Chains A and B, each alone.
Chain A
Amino acid sequence: MNGVNGGLRQSMAWLHTWAGLLVGWLLLAIFATGTSAYFQDEITRWMQPEITGVRQPTRAAEGAVTWLTAHQPDADSWSIALPGQRAIASTVYWRQAGEDRSAARDNTLTLDGNGQPVVSRPTLGGAFLYRMHFDLHYMPVIWARWVVGFCAMFMLVAIVSGVITHKKIFADFFTLRFGKGQRSWLDAHNLSAVLALPFHLMITFTGLVTLQSLYMPWGVAAAYPNKAAYFADAFGSESPPVRSGEPAPMASLGGMIAQARKVWGGAQPGFIDIALPGDRHGVVRLFRSGGDAMDAREKTLLFDAATGHMHPLPAAKGGASATESTMVGLHAGRYAPYALRWLYFLCSLAGTLMVATGLVLWTAKRRLQLPDPDRPHLGFVLVERLNIATVAGLPLAFACHFLANRLLPVRMDDRATWEVHAFFIGWGAALLIACVQRPRRAWLAVLMLGAAAFAALPVVDELTTERGLLPSLARGDGVFVGFDLTMLALAAALGTAAWKLYRRPAGARRKHAAIAAGADA
């Protein structure tokens, strides 16, 4: 019996090691960006320091319609993206007859909480890190989603095989021993994995569920003649209205929102689409905000724009659909109030650390077995350098992204794009350092650069805006204070890591190795 168990454990350990390593670096980026996305609205607010005030979705929607009526009365469609649960700004888009959807990228305007146009630095805000989490960047999103799904599937394999491999889940439940080389990395990996295990399982599985119709299209293919029929059934789309040519002023949007909120149990709309505004046949479509309930999938209601009459309610969703919607909501956590949001953030941070410590553990374990530690084989060099570039390099990338938001000229062309480039320039710099320096010096250099960049953020914020740490503290502005303090905490964490590494004598590893070799002999 023991032999069978030992055999199973060993094969699971092998599976865990290689499934984890193969996708580890990309997984770390997915985990880190996903963790930050729990504060997507706050990041957006910090990246748009010009926008102040409070969130008033109904007022913003009415302000948007007023502005659009005055400035874009002949457009074929208007869209209003209302602020998320903890955001302030809204964005309006419009499209003229004959323009395709991509035109909306240029036909856009940002409104403040009162629905008044506001000029703010062009930025993607927290949306870049959020989209990076599943769409990556510099590649078609469908490819990216396949790659991310592949990583998530390997993650699920790594979690299950890791649980089987872990010999002493309960005995080691609270154990974290410092200063013991490989043993310490294993402790840290186990602790970050086991303590947040329910979260890790939930987040990986529901992550796959969010894109299940992409990964497993056969159910839809078997039940529907084509994709359009599926979407019509799933999202209740009606055929687009035809222009009557007869002008008709729009009924009160606030009234339609009030009706919708009654149907949705108080939930706000998150997105509004108005087809043929100003025409007698115009149709208003309200999409429920994802932040007001745990089942996150969009619910839509249609209204006649001219009369404000609601179309018949769409058919209630089936059990499978409601389950899927709740799983997606559980994953994104848009519904979560602040206390729960911080718990999400901490669990997700534990997941990020789990991946990072797992990657470092791979090298810590194998360094002892190298025949000549000064001339490791190619595989070891590759893993060690990629570890430096991602584990230490990703934080640097985040810091560069935020620094670019404050330091690039406000009126620069393609400013938002360059903020994103800054993320990858920082990451690329870390990779370059990792390739040209000896590992120990590369770890130190990238960690210290990251610490310095995060520490610089509150300073730069103080110097370039009127919403630095001290004035925000005086104003009681939790979002700005929280952001700057989080940056300082990250600087402290990276600085501590660099300090520990610096204090550790260069020969320590070799001494460990010699002791281990002696013990084996």
Chain B
Amino acid sequence: MIALPLVASVLGFALLCLGMSRHQRDLFGRSLPAGRTRAAKAAGWLLVTVAYAGSLLAEGAALGAVYGVGVLTFGAAVVALTVTGLSRSR
């Protein structure tokens, strides 16, 4: 089931994005405290790792390795386009 890695990838990149001060300012109008930023980054990296590992588990080493790359690109693209839309509507 590749849906779970896809979700993990989107959430992971969303957290990594929230861990960047430029996007914090775009989205909330201010920077978040350092503690929260660190937590978002750590959770983001964890979920992105889970997304790739989950692809390997779900589809096996050969197919999963290819799926994983597509899953990461998909997650990052969804987050980039969403953030662009949200920043514009503010």
Contact B69 A346 (CB under 8 A): no
Docked complex: B49-74 residues within 8 A CB-CB of A? 62-63, 66-67, 69-74
Q: Does B34 make an interface contact (CB < 8 A)?
A: no
Chain B window 73-85, contacts with chain A (Cβ cutoff 8 Å), 1 for yes, 0 for no: 1101101110110
| Complex-state Cα separation, A100 to B67, whole angstroms | 44
Inter-chain contacts of B88 with A (CB < 8 A):
178
- Asked whether A343 lies within 8 Å of B67 as measured between CB atoms, the reply is yes
The SS class assigned to the B binding surface is helix
Q: Point out the residues of chain B lying under 8 angstroms from A343, CB to CB.
A: 67, 70-71, 73-74
Q: Are A346 and B76 in contact (CB under 8 A)?
A: no
Contact B67–A174 (Cβ < 8 Å): no
B79 in contact with A346 (CB, 8 Å)? no
A330 (CB) vs chain B CBs: closest residue: B66
8 Å CB contact of B69 from A173, A176, A198 = A198
Query: Hey, what's the 0/1 contact readout for A174-212 against B, CB within 8 Å counting as 1?
Result: 111110000000000001000110110010000000000
Q: A340-B70, A343-B73, A346-B77 are in contact. Are A294 and B62 (CB under 8 A)?
A: yes
Measured CA separation A478–B62 after assembly (Å): 28
Asked if residues B63 and A199 are in contact (CB atoms below 8 Å), the reply is no
Within 8 Å CB of B13, what residues of A? 174
Q: Mark B15-50, 1 if CB is under 8 A from A, else 0.
A: 011001011000000000000000000000000000
CB distance A350 to B77 under 8 Å? yes
* Residues of the B chain whose Cβ atoms lie less than 8 Å from the Cβ of A340: 2, 63, 66-67, 70
A344 within 8 A of B: yes
Residues of B within 8 A of A171 (CB): 20, 22
* Range for the number of chain B residues in contact with chain A: 20 to 34
A347 within 8 A of B: yes
Total contacting residues, chain A, CB less than 8 A = 24
B66 touches A176 (CB 8 A): no
Please indicate the chain B residues that have their CB under 8 angstroms from the CB of A176 in the complex.
80-81, 83-84
In the complex, whether A4 has a CB less than 8 A from a CB of chain B is no
The CA of A174 and the CA of B15, in the complex, are separated in Å by 12
Shortest Cβ gap from B43 to chain A (Å)? 16
Given contacts A294-B62, A339-B2, contact A174 B70 (CB under 8 A): no
Q: In the complex, which of the residues B62, B70, B76, B84 contacts A173, with contact meaning CB atoms closer than 8 Å?
A: B76
Query: Which one of A171, A174, A191 has the highest number of Cβ atoms from chain B below 10 Å of its Cβ?
Result: A174
Task: Give the docked Cα–Cα distance between A347 and B74 (Å).
Answer: 8
Q: A174-B80, A174-B83 are in contact. Are A196 and B20 (CB under 8 A)?
A: no
Q: A191 with B80: in contact, given A174-B20, A294-B63, A340-B67 (CB under 8 Å)?
A: yes
Bound CA–CA A330/B70 (angstroms): 13
Interface core residue of B74, B79, B80, B83 (most chain A CB under 10 Å): B80
Q: Beyond the given A173-B20, A202-B69, A339-B2, could you list 12 further A-B residue pairs with CB under 8 A, ordered by the A residue number?
A: A171-B20, A173-B76, A173-B80, A174-B23, A191-B77, A195-B73, A199-B73, A335-B63, A340-B70, A343-B67, A346-B73, A350-B77
Please list 21 pairs of residues, one from A and one from B, whose beta carbons are closer than 8 Å in the complex, sorted by A's number. Answer: A171-B20, A173-B20, A173-B80, A174-B79, A176-B83, A178-B84, A191-B80, A195-B77, A198-B69, A199-B69, A199-B70, A202-B69, A294-B62, A294-B63, A335-B63, A340-B70, A343-B73, A343-B74, A346-B73, A347-B70, A350-B73
Chain A positions within 8 Å of B, measured between CB atoms, are 171, 173-178, 191, 195-196, 198-199, 202, 294, 330, 335-336, 339-340, 343-344, 346-347, 350
